[in-house]
């Protein structure tokens, strides 16, 4: 794997590496993003953040908020496959934002990147709501990725305040145990905010992605929409690889 770019900022080592057309972002050795415009299916956690968009029909997701941009892989996927009117990405790390623009092509019409603390940004935000919110806030600890914000009842409420009626929150966790301990599932009042919930995973990592919708939804709806898009069709060799479970609310 070739080294395209490297910089040390405030004691952290940032690297962008390439394998063919694939670009990968590492921060202090922790793998943050991967994207290949020729092969947009990553076979990893970024696919799981994209997948829930297909619980909705084309054109229903007009405004999407991504908390935690990294290199911007999921923003590229959402723009390519969902084509919302606007994707807002909020990222604390200015180096990540620079890398996202320069190496991952996260720029142009319909993409708005904000350098800010996501908790503060949500607390100050007073604009129009979002149809989909992706909560992918991660940092590094002892060389391992770790959620940057604990998903307690206050965090779920803060996300909910920015969500349009009938919208959806997609939240990435390092493990099934962490998802189950979150207020999304452990707090009764938080569970009552949603009408359907699912867990997504892959065989390549331990991440558990929680999907929480303010509208009824089924796994059959998801499958039927995916098979209409050849590059995403799980039945094809190059298609998505994932497993999904319905969560009790």
User: What is the reported pTM?
Assistant: 0.96
Q: What does 109-147 look like in DSSP terms, one character per residue?
A: TTEEEEES-HHHHHHH--S--EEEEEE--EEEETTEEEE
Separation of alpha carbons 222 and 229, rounded Å? 12
Confidence check: pLDDT of 1 > 80: no
Separation of alpha carbons 110 and 142, rounded Å? 36
pLDDT 10s digits, 16-68:
999 889 999 999 988 889 999 888 898 889 999 999 999 999 999 999 999 99
Separation of alpha carbons 135 and 169, rounded Å? 7
Confidence check: pLDDT of 143 > 80: no
pLDDT 10s digits, 118-135:
999 999 999 999 999 999
**CATH class (in words) of the domain with range 40-246:** alpha beta
- Indicate the range of 68-72, 83-87, 138-142, 200-204 predicted with least confidence: 138-142
């Amino acid at each position: 794997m070739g080294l395209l770019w490297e910089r040390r900022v405030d004691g952290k080592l940032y690297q962008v590496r390439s394998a063919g057309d694939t670009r990968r972002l590492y921060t202090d050795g922790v793998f943050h993003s991967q994207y290949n415009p020729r092969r947009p299916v990553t076979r990893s956690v970024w696919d799981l953040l994209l997948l829930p968009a297909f619980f909705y029909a084309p054109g229903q997701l007009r405004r999407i908020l991504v908390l935690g941009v990294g290199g911007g892989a999921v923003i590229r996927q959402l723009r390519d496959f969902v084509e919302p009117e606007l994707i807002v990405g909020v990222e604390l790390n200015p180096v990540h934002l620079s890398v996202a623009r320069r190496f991952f092509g996260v720029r142009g019409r319909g993409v708005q990147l904000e350098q800010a603390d996501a908790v503060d940004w949500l607390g100050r935000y007073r604009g129009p709501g979002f149809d989909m919110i992706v909560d992918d806030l991660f940092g590094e600890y002892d060389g391992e990725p770790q959620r940057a914000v604990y998903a307690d009842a206050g965090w779920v409420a803060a996300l909910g305040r920015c969500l349009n009626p009938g919208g959806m929150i997609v939240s990435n966790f390092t493990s099934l145990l962490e998802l189950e301990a979150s207020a999304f599932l452990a707090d009764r009042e938080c569970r009552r905010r949603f009408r359907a919930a699912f867990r997504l995973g892959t065989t390549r990592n331990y991440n558990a992605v929680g999907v929480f919708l303010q509208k009824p939804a089924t796994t059959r709806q998801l499958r039927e929409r995916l098979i209409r898009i050849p590059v995403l069709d799980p039945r094809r060799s190059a298609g998505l690889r994932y497993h999904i479970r319905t969560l009790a609310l």
